[in-house]
Amino acid sequence: MTNDEGSSRITGHASPTSDSWLLTTDLCIKCNICTSVCPVAAVTDLFPGPKVVGPQAQRFREPGAISLDRSVDYCSGCGVCSLVCPQGVQVAEMNILAKAALAERDGVSRRNRLLGRSEQVGRIGSWFAPLANFLLQNKFLRSLGERWFGVSREAPFPKFAWRSFRSRFARSGAGRDAAGIYKVVYFHGCSTNYYEPRVGMAAVKVLRLNGCKVSVAEQNCCGLPLQSNGELAAARAAAEANLRKLAPYVREGYVIVGTSTSCTFALKHEYRAVLGLHSEEAELVAGATYDFFEFLQKLEAEGRWQTGFRHAPERIVYHAPCQLRSHGIGRPAADLLRRVPGVTVLETQADCCGVAGTYGLKAEKYQIAKDVGRKAFHEIQKAQATRIACDSETCRWWLAQHTGLPAVHPVEILAEAYGVKRV
């Protein structure tokens, strides 16, 4: 699909670049298409909808001033509004920045500071993994946590892994290949490193089976949790650190491939569109970043995708996370899993499972997130599958909690089909 012929040419023109998001306010014709698909506005009248808090309110925000209307805080950041807008208004981006402006004025709560720092929480938690896991399952402590911090006592928390992905990777020797058809930097993200190292190990094995040389270059949290919780300066620092660490690899011909679809979306889009980073490094990294199955689909198009699968009869229900939709690449994981002999893939149609990163973990939003997710939960239960496959970790934990089905990253299913033992 991606072959480049010699004398081909490009016609038409690119859309306005993302740094002009503010100008897109005036493209809004108030048609309300965004409101009609907003999953939060559909379940609560606390949120007036993306058009009202986005382009409509933006007209009252002088440059530098902020809206007095706090209802934008109920935006979950799922991004569906930007995708459906026929005029190219960057509604979601506008709302993230409006939320951040409110946070700057009113200060960021202890709770949001905590939720924004998934990397630090992960690192400290995994030092004391057994104890931390025990404490997080304790109902009394969780209710104290709700009262003091505002983190819902019901919200799902993953278990800290005793040994991080990076240390497992180092010990496995998987990074010592001399060459490969592609040189890949695997961007694992905090969740793989501290909670689900098995996802990372599966990803590395699948990449190597497909002939790629894998590195786990120095990297840090993508910054998205900080951004969603209103800490733009801290998010920007995390982003710049990643760009400094990753850009040299891209210059050496590496591509960046990640299994957390929200992290890869941050590298591709949010650094530029929301955090306003327009350096050469930002462009370089964005252009070289692939979501995991998007990369496999690229290999497939080039005729280099390995399909030596064992027969693995299973009925899977796949949920495409809202963040994946924002990539604009379709649903490559569902498309490729269907190619595994014996695997049946059913797909949910729901636009969002509700949790939207850290949104559903917050006490005052937990019920809203659950109501948003009801459609997805229902579809999953109806599917009569054995497992849920989903490319985003917070969605997996949330869906598993509310449906009672185990949830895995699609790469884990693929790794099993290649005959790789579960790790």
**Where along the sequence are the contacts to another protein (CB under 8 A)?**
1-15, 31-33, 35-37, 41-42, 45-49, 52, 82-88, 264-265, 267-269, 286-287, 289-290, 325-331, 335, 347, 349
Q: What angle do CA 228, 86, 89 make, to 5 degrees?
A: 40
Name the residue type at position 92.
A
Q: How far apart are the C-alpha atoms of 67 and 111, rounded to whole Å?
A: 23
Output 9 or 171, the one with its CB closest to another protein.
9
Name the residue type at position 418.
Y
Output 59 or 378, the one with its CB closest to another protein.
378
3-state secondary structure (DSSP) of residue 204? helix
> Taking the complex as a whole, how short is the minimal distance between the CB of residue 173 and another protein, in angstroms?
31
Q: How far apart are the C-alpha atoms of 4 and 197, rounded to whole Å?
A: 37
> Taking the complex as a whole, how short is the minimal distance between the CB of residue 399 and another protein, in angstroms?
20
Output 2 or 303, the one with its CB closest to another protein.
2
47, exposed or middle or buried, with CB in 10 Å at 0-12, 13-18, 19+? buried
Q: How many CB atoms are closer than 10 A to CB 368?
A: 21
- Chain mean position to CA 202: 18
> Taking the complex as a whole, how short is the minimal distance between the CB of residue 131 and another protein, in angstroms?
39
3-state secondary structure (DSSP) of residue 387? strand
> Taking the complex as a whole, how short is the minimal distance between the CB of residue 7 and another protein, in angstroms?
5
3-state secondary structure (DSSP) of residue 316? strand
Report residue 216 as tokens. Answer: 């786990």
Q: How far apart are the C-alpha atoms of 387 and 277, rounded to whole Å?
A: 39
Q: How far apart are the C-alpha atoms of 64 and 411, rounded to whole Å?
A: 44
Output 43 or 114, the one with its CB closest to another protein.
43
> Taking the complex as a whole, how short is the minimal distance between the CB of residue 53 and another protein, in angstroms?
10
- What element of type H or E holds 335? helix 332-337
Output 3 or 105, the one with its CB closest to another protein.
3
Q: What are phi and psi of 312, to 5 degrees?
A: -135, 70
Output 39 or 150, the one with its CB closest to another protein.
39
> Taking the complex as a whole, how short is the minimal distance between the CB of residue 213 and another protein, in angstroms?
21
> Taking the complex as a whole, how short is the minimal distance between the CB of residue 330 and another protein, in angstroms?
5
Output 167 or 367, the one with its CB closest to another protein.
367
> Taking the complex as a whole, how short is the minimal distance between the CB of residue 287 and another protein, in angstroms?
4
Q: What are phi and psi of 211, to 5 degrees?
A: 85, 15
Output 125 or 189, the one with its CB closest to another protein.
189
